[in-house]
Copies of this chain bind each other. A is one copy, B any other.
Amino acid sequence: MADHRETLASALRDQIIQGVYAPGQKLSEQTLARDLDTSRNTLREAFRVLSEQGLVDHVPNRGVSVAAPATADVVDIYRARRTIEGGVLAGASPLHPGVDRMREAVERARSAADESDWAVVGTANMAFHAAIVLLADSARLQKVHGQLLAELRLAFLALGDAHGLHAPFLSRNARILELMVGDGPKAAADELERYLIDSERAVLGAYARLGRD
């Protein structure tokens, strides 16, 4: 087992994002270390990374558990998304290569929707918004935004509903892209702002229906 730690954190990250461990689930050091065939020390190092990324909650003396975003977290995440995605889009050029990535994501989402593959639709949806951030040419913004989306994915996992939360917004991504190319960044950013507000509302509504904190 060579470069464990580097791999371990990202492997765990993928598993968490894909729902292998449910949001809120306790991650025992002993059990996980045994299952992942690694030592507690190495595992704990990976935990620090994931904790810093907001994917796991770490409570002193009580270990770590998969993050389970509360309503307040969802609100916070969407605030950050509006600032970052909105700011980037408003200040970007419609000629930036990242726009092609946006287009690709839209098409991927569309064809996945045709086949009713809602998991892929959700992934493509997020890829669209990640592509928006590409327009800023900032590695740091990309990283941060990726972490926001990862946290949000946990919220979706907790809701267990990919269809209802992504499908209605599919066409609006296309609309944003259309505005970006046709009417310029400002118009696109305005639509994005509305999109994010509505999306947030949908998630919060689902949370409320589930009676989450």
Q: Which of A6, A54, A79, A80 has most B Cβ within 10 Å?
A: A80
Cβ-defined partner of A141 (8 Å) among B80, B138, B139, B140: B80
In whole angstroms, what is the CA distance A31 to B45 when docked? Answer: 20
* Least Cβ–Cβ distance between A136 and chain B, in angstroms: 6
* Least Cβ–Cβ distance between A69 and chain B, in angstroms: 11
In whole angstroms, what is the CA distance A46 to B137 when docked? Answer: 30
Main secondary structure of the interface of A (DSSP, over half): helix
Residues of B contacting A6 in the complex (Cβ-Cβ under 8 angstroms):
60
In whole angstroms, what is the CA distance A90 to B137 when docked? Answer: 21
* Least Cβ–Cβ distance between A184 and chain B, in angstroms: 17
Query: Which chain A residues in 89-103 approach chain B with CB under 8 Å?
Result: 90-91
Residues of B contacting A14 in the complex (Cβ-Cβ under 8 angstroms):
none
Interface size on A, residues (CB 8 A): 34
Cβ-defined partner of A79 (8 Å) among B54, B60, B138: B138
How many copies the complex holds: the figure is 2
Query: Which chain A residues in 34-71 approach chain B with CB under 8 Å?
Result: 41, 44-46, 48-49, 51-54, 60
Contact B41–A141 (Cβ < 8 Å)? no
In whole angstroms, what is the CA distance A39 to B80 when docked? Answer: 37
* Least Cβ–Cβ distance between A143 and chain B, in angstroms: 9
Contact A83–B41 (Cβ < 8 Å)? no
**A-B complex: 5 closest residue pairs judged by Cβ atoms:** A87-B87, A52-B52, A83-B87, A48-B48, A79-B138
6 CB contacts below 8 A, A to B, read: A41-B44, A45-B45, A79-B136, A82-B87, A84-B87, A87-B90
Apart from A79-B136, A83-B141, A140-B148, 16 more pairs, CB < 8 Å: A5-B48, A6-B60, A44-B45, A45-B48, A46-B48, A48-B52, A49-B49, A52-B52, A79-B137, A79-B138, A79-B141, A80-B144, A83-B84, A83-B91, A83-B136, A83-B138
